[in-house]
Structure 1
Amino acid sequence: MRSSIRGAGAAAAATALVVVVAGSWFGFQQLAQPACSGKIELSVAAAPEVAPAIQSAAAQWVSDGAAVGGTCIAVNVAASDSVDVAAAVASKHGARLAGVGQASGTAVTPDVWVPDSSTWLLRLKTGGAAAFAPGNGASIARSPVVVAVPEPVAEARFGWPEKKVTWIDLLRQVSSDKPIRAGIVEPTQDAAGLSGLLSMTAAASGSGGDAQKATTGALRALATGRSALRQDLLARFPRSTDPTAVASGLGAAALSEEDVIAYNQTKPPIPLAALYLEPSPMPLDYPYAVLPGIEPAKASAARVLYELLTTPGFRNRLAAQALRAPDGNWGDGFKAPQGAPSPAGGAKTVPPAGGTAAGGLDPVAIERAVSSWSIATQSGRMLCVIDVSGSMKEPVASANNASRAQVTVAAASRGLGLFDDSWSIGLWTFSTRLIGNQDWREIVPIGPLSSQRGKLEQGLGSVKPSKGDTGLYDTMLAAYKAVQDEWEPGRVNSVVLFTDGQNDDDDGISQTQLLSELKRLADPEKPVQVVIIGIGGGVNKAELEAITKVTGGGNFVTEDPSKIGDIFLKAIALRPNAPR
């Protein structure tokens, strides 16, 4: 997660109570009154590095005697890690964010949230928070995402500061015979890490050759050096000028420009160079998000506070925190790293609207990157069960008329390429009466990928639709039992089933019998997660939900079978962590 290394600044902003007004900042001098009465409390949760600037701006507002209509407004500015607030908002709105985890029991959502990146707002929306529609959302600050490299390494390996560096250059250094030790803060919990991940995987997929193999290699190279906390990652940079220490220390990591400036202000033995790689990665943009559901008086106060944070003077407050204005320029006192770009020729003007957040973000690319990362960096035990009923022969117009079965197999093959050898995976197919009266067929038993990856690839290649119907209930019960019988501790044990229909096996068990058996078999000490992926319009979503409500897991339904690949990745990524 993001956590500024400037402890004093963050601590000062942890809880600040200041008086502001519910009116226009630009008109407050004319409307100021000697005193005010009453109080409306506006809570603001801001990323730790920007919270001091917001706090000091509001405090100055108070000292100038601002009040409107005789009403006082108290603004409580709290320095809050973005991932923690995201977890609380997700819990409130029913969203699921891969890698974020559950909100703490004491977590409370604020009235205004200033996370470090608009990607948090986007992930909440695509994660299932359909009603999550925050107001405003414009950027109030910016910090470019850079690749931090110890200066001696930057000079020797990248030709810094003279040479321009690309993400392809970094990819080559990470995957060379003598690779740089790369690191990353867990990108499912850290916006700078996510930005670096997006840029690195884009470079890998566009580098020619086997794009998926290159992308998976890049993911795993980063995964070996990942850290859950930013402080832990920073501590791995070399702390001595000894060549051995430099060679064995962390050599490159995606961080914000603010992080690099703050780190170098501590006068480390080896300063960090900030490499501004091309193409430029997605910056941290600090959106001002007024969360839905706040009362009108608070909404008015939030509008006034936003106006205050778009004034020219606020840019200088940002500069004191090593942050830029939304347009990418900086205020007085900003000490830019060597080679730092300054857009617009360094002009010191702030856009009247405060900048635009979330511009150009691709929700599909972000979700795909997060899901791929989650799969490539976790381990599990999974039985993949694929529907081969007759309807799986139907062509998918949006996939060049490939059949539903072919689209499903392609999705499973893509996922197989992301799973490392620590996974154990098996493969079944199902329809009706595939073996006598049995509706399912075991293609490959559950086993370690280290020894049977080739068998699984061959097994997927052999999947062909039958002439049968959909024996969903009998197959689900058998698959659940198979996974539970050889349940392994310390891993997520799961069934992942693809189907394009609903149960239509007249000779099989009923829904009532299935649910009763699943309830009887369920063992909290040996949980089996069931993920059902429904394809096309013939799926009965209520039928699927009834199953996963008993087993745990989830179901994902798409009308467009061509989207099954991304849905599969998302479904696997959203599985809970293994019990300990």
Structure 2
Amino acid sequence: MLTILAVVAVVAGARIAVGQFGGGECSGQVRLSVSAAPEIAAAVQQSAASWVAGKADVEGTCAVVDVRAADPADVAAVLGAQQKVSLTGAGAPRAGVTPPDVWIADSRTWLQRLRAAAPRFAFTEEGSLAMSPVVMAMPEPVAKDLGWPDKKLSYADLVAQITTSTNFRAGTVDPSRDAAALSGLLVLSSTASTLDQRRPGTSNGLLRALATDTSVLRDDLMAQLPQGDDEGSLAGGLGLAAMSESDVVTYNAGKPPVDLTALYLDPAAAPLDYPFTVLPELGQSQAEAAHQLYETLSKSSGFRDALAVAGLRLPDGSTPGGFVSPDGAPKRIGPSPAAGSGEAAASTTDGATIDRALAGWSAVVAPARILAIVDASDSMRTPVPTARNASRMQVTLAAARSGLGLFSDDWQVGLWLFAAGAGPGNHRELEPIGPLTDNRDDVTAALSGIKPAGGDAGLYRTILDGYREVQKGWQAGRVNSVLVMTDGADAGQKAGDIKLEQLLTQLDGAKSADKPVQVIVVGVGDAVDEAPLERITQVTGGGVFVAEDPAQIGAVFLQALSLRTASTR
């Protein structure tokens, strides 16, 4: 048989095509497109090429495999758009990125996020192909100053250094676009939340410190590491960042001026686990080709060798032959040898935990100009049994104060309340929209002073007036928003309020593509009528988020803030 193996590498597109065409053993073609995380793409291509060259066929049909290296965030954005959902931070689909038949992302967290956003998205996971622990990476001299390797450092040590030291820089890649950074954020945030009990404000301090040195791309983060071992370079460069072990191995292999130390802390952060994911709606032959490719990669000694070159471990956390470990790295990573792969550790991070972490992150890093409007009507006096009978108003204001603590000083925030008799249109300005550098204390004090002010009042006129107020002072470079916190009781049925159709008509006439203003509604309790509120946000952009149990409003509040888009013009 004459076999022609075509291997075409296009550097600009990071695309590798592997095809087999022959006579005798197979005929026709079954095509399979594969998008793989850049660090594993070359290993996948090599084994796919060997599979094809070895007369691979799928039920008598010739296999043609197209392997493309692609940023997992870009693939997630394309798949999200296909399902009519968006993932926080993933952004809009990038030109040239198309949905593959098989996706080898760097982490199962991408699948968890997609599954949470689009529960009907029925992809199939064959298993993990590789593993790379997520470590806390530090320039070696910086780690030694903290006592490494003689002292076993903890997350608490690192959080304290990040939040209290005046000459220590910790950085991160945007965790909404980078799985290793997300894993690191989760473990550091968990530690900071525990420390909040002894040192209030630790969580906010951690997020703000990391946000100060945030990079969109991994390469940008690496460029901020010290470029010399002198005191000035070490003080000016990054001192800490969550990275994959593979990143540390690759960086040190380049003989940098200062090597990175990888800290393997307890409990271990969720590792990168490279799931082999078969996307839905494939034909039977394509599905079989995908399964055969997975089996080939899982059993190939050549693939294991290629993983070692890429600085990646085997799925069970052991090191393949030729793997160059960072100093102090354990030979095996994972919950236990019986676990069989990194999947068990990764699966302990659920979608809700990821959503909360990214919501808090988004609340800190996205520049905003926001008018917060608090419902001070009589129904907000209703007690919440699950919050020790605190009123709806009390739990709402507690969530608002917590959120305010996350906002950086470059946020611009204003505050209104609305209730019957509160003022013209049944609403009253407590604080004009202004930078938190000047009015943080005033906004905090005004929040603390809000109490149910009297009779119930409708929402709609207040939403319209608030929308016009934000639009009037609209600023480029910021997310301009109206945030309404209400229990929504009898929305639109109060005397003096406008009708829903009037509101929708006037909002539609007022909105401007050049000056977008979105409306975000945080509903409190089980009396919120979501349908009319969703009609409002369909006109303006934004969304409706309801905490039927008001005791959970804190998480809902952060989730709502994470919705803010980059429609800043």
Q: Distance in 2 between matches of 1:20 and 1:143?
A: 32
Residue 19 (structure 1) shift: 4.8
Residue 211 (structure 1) shift: 5.7
Letter paired with 1:70: G
Letter paired with 1:560: D
1:81 maps to which of 71, 75, 79: 71
Paired residues for 1:122-521 under 5 Å: 122-126=112-116, 128-136=117-125, 138-155=127-144, 157-209=145-197, 213-311=201-299, 313=301, 314-343=303-332, 351=340, 358-435=346-423, 438-501=425-488, 502-521=491-510
TM-score (norm. length: structure 2): 0.91
Deviations 1:182-229 (A, max 9, x none): 221111111111111112222222225466510111111112222111
What SS class does the counterpart of residue 433 from structure 1 fall into? coil
Letter paired with 1:361: T
Q: Distance in 2 between matches of 1:405 and 1:363?
A: 29
Label 1:210 to 1:118 Cα distance change in 2 as closer, same or farther (>3 A). same
Deviations 1:413-470 (A, max 9, x none): 11111012211211222233333x7322222222222222222222222222345234
CA contact (8 A) 2:373 2:416 kept: yes
1:53 maps to which of 25, 43, 60: 43
Letter paired with 2:229: T
Q: Distance in 2 between matches of 1:211 and 1:300?
A: 56
CA contact (8 A) 1:39 1:71 kept: yes
CA contact (8 A) 1:407 1:564 kept: yes
Label 1:575 to 1:160 Cα distance change in 2 as closer, same or farther (>3 A). same
Q: Which runs of 4+ in 1 moved over 6 A?
A: 347-350
Label 1:330 to 1:134 Cα distance change in 2 as closer, same or farther (>3 A). same
308-317 or 367-376: bigger deviation? 308-317
Paired residues for 1:64-143 under 5 Å: 64-126=54-116, 128-136=117-125, 138-143=127-132
Q: Distance in 2 between matches of 1:145 and 1:63?
A: 35
Letter paired with 2:543: G
Label 1:445 to 1:243 Cα distance change in 2 as closer, same or farther (>3 A). closer
Aligned residue in 2 for 1:576: 565
Q: Distance in 2 between matches of 1:312 and 1:71?
A: 22
Gaps of 5+ in 1: 1-7, 22-31
Q: Distance in 2 between matches of 1:179 and 1:9?
A: 45
Residue 83 (structure 1) shift: 0.8
Q: Distance in 1 between matches of 2:568 and 2:428?
A: 30
115-124 or 314-323: bigger deviation? 314-323
Letter paired with 1:542: A
Q: Distance in 2 between matches of 1:470 and 1:316?
A: 69
Label 1:212 to 1:83 Cα distance change in 2 as closer, same or farther (>3 A). farther
Q: Distance in 2 between matches of 1:460 and 1:243?
A: 46
Residue 312 (structure 1) shift: 5.9
Letter paired with 2:172: I
Percent pairwise identity: 46
CA contact (8 A) 1:273 1:338 kept: yes
TM-score (norm. length: structure 1): 0.90
Aligned residue in 1 for 2:31: 41
Letter paired with 2:504: L
Residue 308 (structure 1) shift: 1.9
Deviations 1:493-549 (A, max 9, x none): 210012222221243221221112112221222221111122333322221122112
CA contact (8 A) 1:43 1:110 kept: yes
Aligned residue in 1 for 2:3: none
Residue 259 (structure 1) shift: 0.7
What SS class does the counterpart of residue 422 from structure 2 fall into? strand
What SS class does the counterpart of residue 257 from structure 2 fall into? coil
CA contact (8 A) 1:140 1:355 kept: no
Count of residues in Structure 1 that have an aligned counterpart in Structure 2: 558
Deviations 1:334-376 (A, max 9, x none): 111110012389x99994x895574211323221211111111
Aligned residue in 2 for 1:62: 52
Q: Distance in 2 between matches of 1:369 and 1:383?
A: 24
What SS class does the counterpart of residue 298 from structure 2 fall into? coil
Q: Distance in 1 between matches of 2:48 and 2:344?
A: 22
Label 1:558 to 1:293 Cα distance change in 2 as closer, same or farther (>3 A). farther
Aligned residue in 2 for 1:28: none
